Amino acid sequence: MKGLKLRIDSIFNSSESRDEKLQKICQLLRNEIPHYDWVGFYFNNGEKPELKLGPYSGAPTDHVIIPFGKGICGQVAVTDKTFVVPDVMVEDNYLSCSIQTKSEIVVPIFKDCENIGQIDIDSHQIDPFTENDVELLKYVCEKVSKFY
């Protein structure tokens, strides 16, 4: 975990553009963590009450725009709370990207106490996420908020 955080730090400290950094973070997390099968960022779409897909790593998704309140991501935009879904089959308010996805975690990104977006992870495993994932993803989100 410490080695991974150092690699995360070096991406954020590089001179690349914001989107290049976010893209590399997605790739790094997906490559290094076996239960991360899709990793992506969503950000608030200007003043509209919706999220817009940012950089991601994994299969293309139809959910490029997600209205606030819809799906796991849309709910996190409203509640401001990390949402761990051990089994997506039991969620009513869920937007399916792939039939392979079994579980999901979404962690909000705060800038000056305002929820500006989120990191979203899909997994092909049931119930794989632990406190370690929450801690790592909060670390990433705090870094994102510093240069956003």
Q: Which residues of the chain form contacts with ligand SME (CB under 6 A)?
A: 38, 40, 61, 63, 66, 71-74, 94-95, 97, 104, 120, 122
Residue 8 or residue 51: which is nearer to ligand SME going by CB?
51
| Residue in the shown chain whose Cβ atom is closest to ligand SME | 71
**DSSP string spanning the chain?**
-HHHHHHHHHHHTSSS-HHHHHHHHHHHHHHH-TT--EEEEEEE-TTSSEEEEEEEESS--S-SEEETTSHHHHHHHHH-S-EEES-GGG-SS---S-TT--EEEEEEEEETTEEEEEEEEEESSSS---HHHHHHHHHHHHHHHHH-
Residue 95 or residue 134: which is nearer to ligand SME going by CB?
95
Least gap, CB of 86 to ligand SME (angstroms) = 14
Residue 24 or residue 104: which is nearer to ligand SME going by CB?
104
Least gap, CB of 57 to ligand SME (angstroms) = 11
